[in-house]
Chains A and B, each alone.
Chain A
Amino acid sequence: MTRKKNRPALLIANRLDDGIAVFWSPNGWTKKPTLAGYLPDESTQTVAEKSALIDVDNNLVIGPLLVAATLVSGVPSPDHPKYSIQADGPTVIYGEAEYNARSQRHVSNV
């Protein structure tokens, strides 16, 4: 894992059994980015890393990664768009929801 020297971070991974993006928190892994543990310094990041690596060994998660984050309204939010999207999900609606929204939004003339 890449340590975020002098930068606050959160720790993101994917759950092994279903691949869903999850976030480390002192209370365990959570799917909700709003509940992610905020890791403001190296010492908190080290604690989180060690905990995450144990969970890697226990086959709970894969690919834990510290990503730079900022507190926004008290909630840690990844600084980079890539990890924001990983945290929040696709920025586009998809599947039936997309189909229904498009059908209602406008009638294409093509």
Chain B
Amino acid sequence: MYKYDSYDQTFVDARVEEFRSQVERRLSGELSEEEFRPLRLVNGLYLQLHAYMLRVAIPYGLLSSEQMRRLAHIARRYDKGYAHFTTRQNIQYNWPKLVETPDILAELASVEMHAIQTSGNVIRNVTTDHFAGAAADEVADPRPYAEIIRQWSTLHPEFGFLPRKFKIAITGAAKDRAAIRWHDIGLIVKEQDGALGFEVVVGGGMGRTPVIGKTIRDFLPEAELLSYLEAILRVYNEQGRRDNKYKARIKILVNEMGEETFRETVESEWKLTRREAINLPENEQRRISAFFKNPPLPVLEDPRFTEAFIAPNFHAWVKHNTDEHKVPGHRMVTISLKPHGGIPGDATADQMDLIAELADTYSHGEIRVSHEQNLILPHVESRQLPALYGALVAAELGTANAGLLTDIIACPGLDYCALANARSIPISQEIAERFDDITRLTDIGELKVKISGCINSCGHHHAGHIGILGVDRKGVELYQIMLGGSGAEDASTGELLGRGFEANKIVDAIETVVAVYLGERQTEERFLDTVRRIGNTPFKEALYGTA
């Protein structure tokens, strides 16, 4: 993984001391809250309902075991012994004290981490495929590009005051595991005539106006990445709306200009500036790529696991929670942070320490964080799976539900978030407990449920096969259902079924939706494909009695 050089370390250390000074000045009254607020936000520090919340970037979702241990230590020493992995490959602490935040940032800096640009109208943490570098279906490892973009975008002087926040995701695989088309800019690494480059997708986003991003360039040569990104950002920075924050994202600009005009404007800007802009020097690209070489992984035979020595549900766990690695005899293991009845994305400090230990034992010290709020051990020998599974089960981390109905994405919702209108966590817990049966879950198959507690869509409800949106109607939490969304390569926006359900009715409603699917599906047909084939009418009839 990428290692800080002395410049990186000096820079991050300096930021810690700068923030320490800002906090001191705030506490002494030298800075007002109005003056301090933007300073704390660009360091990832929010004020939520009950306390401050610190959002820490996990660049492209990659963590070392040492970093995970430090995150656990921070949870234990400065918070309440747990933390929350988010839908953008970040980790959040829900109870840090302002006075201790500089010390937390110093702890993070000691393991080459920070919280810079995890908030504010800037380019946020660059996200990618959590299987990057290990996936069998990959054209190229996207992480070196993500790191290059991270370095380019961090405190970029031109893009520190964008009209609104800006999110970039990149994948190197045909199967989209990074919700590429839901980002302000999505990049898909492609190979053309033996050369690498990028399909460039722009203007995706969720929030109150869900938009699937549009491809504005089918193939951008690899070396031109930064100059092209700079052209897009420049057009957005100059022409994006600043008069209304609800219309300030790039998706609105693309829509208002029209896709073709936007593309032409970017291309014109690029032609003017590309020679002067920073392109990717080949030696620098090679230097950064070298950090992402996989550990030596011998080609091995895949073992055959007999029933005799296998724990209950092991086969289901292997089927759902492990994926094909590019090196035979290895698997990528998804550690579910969705135990039934638990809080999606939460992990205790002890669990984080255990995962660090398991990463050292089984995965060359490497961990990934997925936007689906799970953790991944990317390089596990298949023959080690029974031992790993046993250790995970003992720590409530062995739930065999990756990609299934109970692998629910949920934002923190009204239990923590100052913006939320309704609670997400209790709904996800109740759904998971209602479907707490491996035979039933396996029969239902792939089904992505995503819950947001408000229209800001941190729970990605627009992209859920079943999306649930919590709304507030005169002080009553109601939950609307939408069907047919997807965050994958077949990206689509879910369609609202009808009026919302009260909290004590929403789980029954989800069960009804699933029953309609089971009654209507054709052989081997996924939930999403059934919805796309039959439309929403049968579901509406079952829920509301009329279409």
Contact = CB atoms under 8 A, between A and B. Distances in A.
A108 B436 contact: yes
B98 A102 contact: no
Interface in B293-349: 312-313, 316, 339-343, 346, 348
A38 B342 CA distance: 36
A5 B437 CA distance: 52
B341 A108 contact: yes
B28 interface: yes
A10 B52 CA distance: 22
A56 B29 CA distance: 10
A102 B416 contact: no
Contacts of A63: 33, 47
Contacts of B416: 90
A80 B316 CA distance: 44
B97 A105 contact: no
A98 B52 contact: no
Contacts of B82: 94-96, 98
A90 B339 CA distance: 19
B346 A94 contact: yes
Contact of B438 (A59, A92, A110): A110
B50 A98 contact: no
A80 B476 CA distance: 8
Contact of B415 (A14, A85, A106): A85
Contacts of A85: 49, 414-415, 423
Given A90-B415, A95-B80, A96-B350, A109 B438 contact: yes
Contacts of A86: 49-50
Contact of A96 (B81, B98, B400): B81
Interface string A55-70: 0101100110000000
Interface string A72-110: 000000011110011001111011101100110110111
A20 interface: yes
Nearest to B475: A80
Q: DSSP class of B's interface residues: helix, strand, loop or mixed? A: loop
Interface string B380-392: 0000000000000
B51 interface: yes
A21 interface: yes
Q: Place the interface of chain A in its size category.
A: 20 to 34
Interface string B413-429: 01110001101011001
Contacts of B425: 90, 92
Contacts of A94: 80, 82, 94, 343, 346
A18 B348 CA distance: 21
A19 B346 contact: no
Given A18-B99, A95-B348, A96-B82, A89 B50 contact: yes
Nearest to B30: A59
A92 to B, nearest CB: 5
A81 B475 contact: yes
B415 A91 contact: yes
A102 B313 contact: no
Contacts of B426: 91-92
A71 to B, nearest CB: 17
Contacts of B351: 99
B475 A16 contact: no
Contacts of B52: 18-19
B348 A110 contact: no
B50 A92 contact: no
Contact of A110 (B97, B423, B429, B437): B437
Given A92-B415, A102-B341, A16 B27 contact: yes
Given A17-B27, A82-B414, A110 B50 contact: no
A92 B343 contact: yes
B406 interface: yes
Contacts of A110: 313, 316, 340, 399-401, 406, 436-438, 441
Given A18-B99, A91-B426, A108-B399, A99 B348 contact: yes
B348 A96 contact: yes
B103 interface: no
A38 B296 CA distance: 67
Contacts of B97: 17-19
A102 B80 contact: no
B360 interface: no
Contacts of A92: 343, 415, 423, 425-426, 429
Contact of B81 (A16, A80, A95): A95
A56 B26 CA distance: 12
30 contacts: A14-B47, A16-B27, A16-B98, A17-B98, A20-B51, A58-B29, A62-B33, A62-B47, A81-B477, A85-B49, A86-B49, A90-B50, A91-B423, A92-B343, A92-B423, A92-B429, A94-B80, A94-B82, A94-B94, A95-B80, A95-B82, A95-B346, A96-B82, A96-B348, A99-B351, A99-B396, A102-B396, A106-B436, A108-B339, A110-B400
A-B pairs, 8 with minimum CB distance: A95-B82, A19-B52, A90-B415, A18-B97, A19-B51, A86-B49, A108-B340, A59-B29
